[in-house]
Amino acid sequence: MRLLKHLFPPSVRRWFPADSMQRIAEAIAEGESRHRGEVMFAVEADLPLPLLWRGVQARQRAEHAFARLRTWDTEANNGVLLYLLLADHRIEIVADRGLRDRVTPDHWQAVCRQIELDMRAGQPETAIVSGIGAISTLLATHFPQDGSQPDEDELPNLPHVL
C-alpha cells in the first residue's frame, strides 16, 4: 500500500499553491520576529523508489532534509525544520542541538498532532501556519527576541519543495 501511495503521490502544488507558500513564508517571518530561532518548512510529495525499497521512514527523510537544507547552520544552534511527507501523511519536526535540553520531544509531538488534525480537516495551509505559530511560541520561550541586538535572518523563510 505504501508503494502505491509513493507511485501516485498527491501534488504538492495542489495542496500548497504559490499563494499558500507565500503565506507560509510570511508566517515564518512573523514568528521569527518574536524569537531568535530559525524555522524552515519543507514538503515532499513522495520518496524516491530506492529509498522506499530500503524502508526509509519520514523521520529519517526529515533528518536528511534538516542536513541538506542546512537548518543546523545557525549561530545559536536553534534551527527547527517542519517536514511534511504527503504520500505517508507524516509530519516531523527536527530541532537543532541548542533546543534539545530546552524543548521536550513531547512538546514537538503535540505540535505534530495538532498539525495532523488540521490536515485531516482539509486545511493544509492553516495546519502548517498554525504549526509554525506553535513552534515560534516554543522558540520565543527559550530564545526570546529581546531587542538588545538586531536578529539576523540566518535561514530562508520560503518553503522548500523537495
- Please tell me the number of Cα atoms within 13 Å of 106 on its side-chain side: 0
- pLDDT, position 151: 67
Span 138-159, average pLDDT: 83
Domain assignment present for residue 151? The answer is no
Mean pLDDT of all residues in the chain? 93
- pLDDT, position 160: 96
74 band by pLDDT with thresholds 50, 70 and 90: confident
Span 101-111, average pLDDT: 94
Number of domains making up the chain: 1
**What letter would DSSP give residue 11?**
P
Instruction: Kindly tell me if the per-residue pLDDT of 161 is higher than 90.
Output: yes
Sheet order of strands, 90-95 included: 90-95, 79-85, 38-44, 160-161
| CATH code of residue 59 | 3.10.310.50
Domain assignment present for residue 71? The answer is yes
Domain assignment present for residue 156? The answer is no
Q: What is the pLDDT of residues 80-100, one digit of tens each?
A: 999 999 999 999 999 999 998
Domain assignment present for residue 115? The answer is yes
Domain assignment present for residue 150? The answer is no
Instruction: Kindly tell me if the per-residue pLDDT of 148 is higher than 70.
Output: no
Domain assignment present for residue 153? The answer is no
Instruction: Tell me if 110 sits within 8 A of 95, measured CB to CB.
Output: no
Domain assignment present for residue 159? The answer is no
Q: In this structure, is the dihedral angle defined by the CA atoms of residues 17, 112, 68 and 133, taken in order, positive or negative?
A: positive
Q: Residues with Cβ < 8 Å from 42, sequence gap 6 or more? A: 62, 65, 69, 81, 82, 83, 84, 159, 160, 161, 162
**What letter would DSSP give residue 27?**
H
Instruction: Kindly tell me if the per-residue pLDDT of 150 is higher than 90.
Output: no
Span 46-72, average pLDDT: 95
Domain assignment present for residue 44? The answer is yes
| Integer Cα distance of 128 and 48 in angstroms | 24
Range of the domain at 94: 2-141
10 band by pLDDT with thresholds 50, 70 and 90: confident
Span 107-125, average pLDDT: 94
| Total-model pTM | 0.92
Instruction: Kindly tell me if the per-residue pLDDT of 133 is higher than 80.
Output: yes
